[in-house]
Amino acid sequence: MSSLSEEVDMLRRVPLFAQIEPSKLKLLAFTSERLAFDENQDVFRQGDEGDAAYVIMQGSADVVVNTPKGETVVAVLSDNAFIGEIAILCDVPRTATIRAKSDLQTLKIKKEDFLGLVKEFPDMAIEVMRELAARLGKTTAELSQVRQQLSAKGS
């Protein structure tokens, strides 16, 4: 079991929280819930309501999306990854399933606590936008590559 100070140190390593003053991180860690997941256990499922975001403290997790041909792993996340923020920021269902690839330790941050920090720290909102823009850019590049491969096969 980690201490509050260890959780604060861990949060500080997440780029999103790096600029937040230690007292606010301590409050965030205190109000957050530490959860453990066994290998192959779902943290949340695609389509679920987004009530919280998670920080991976230890272990790794697959990002799995449903496709017409079944589930597909689109990414693997590990220590200090911040997950689940899209659903809480946009009030949309979860866009993917997060499944523990190994034993996984997480810190669950409630929607209200996360949104409160975003309102209080505008720099954090900018970091969220940068992270989401980077993910969108990566996804767009991957889709473009797949489209080119499909066009080449069709010719």
Domains and CATH numbers, the chain: 4-154 (2.60.120.10)
* pLDDT at residue 155, rounded to an integer: 67
Return the SS3 of 15: helix
Angle at 128 between CA 72 and CA 23, to 5 degrees: 120
Largest interatomic CA distance in the chain:
60
pLDDT value of position 23 = 84
40 in the Ramachandran plot: left (φ > 0), alpha (ψ -120 to 50) or beta? Answer: left
> What is the residue type of 131?
E
Q: Which of 35-44, 99-108, 145-154 has the lowest mean pLDDT?
A: 145-154
Q: What's the whole-number average pLDDT of the chain?
A: 88
Beta strands in the chain (DSSP E): 33-37, 42-44, 52-58, 61-67, 70-77, 82-83, 97-100, 104-110
- The Cβ of residue 94 has, within 10 Å, a number of other Cβ atoms equal to 20
pLDDT score at 2: 67
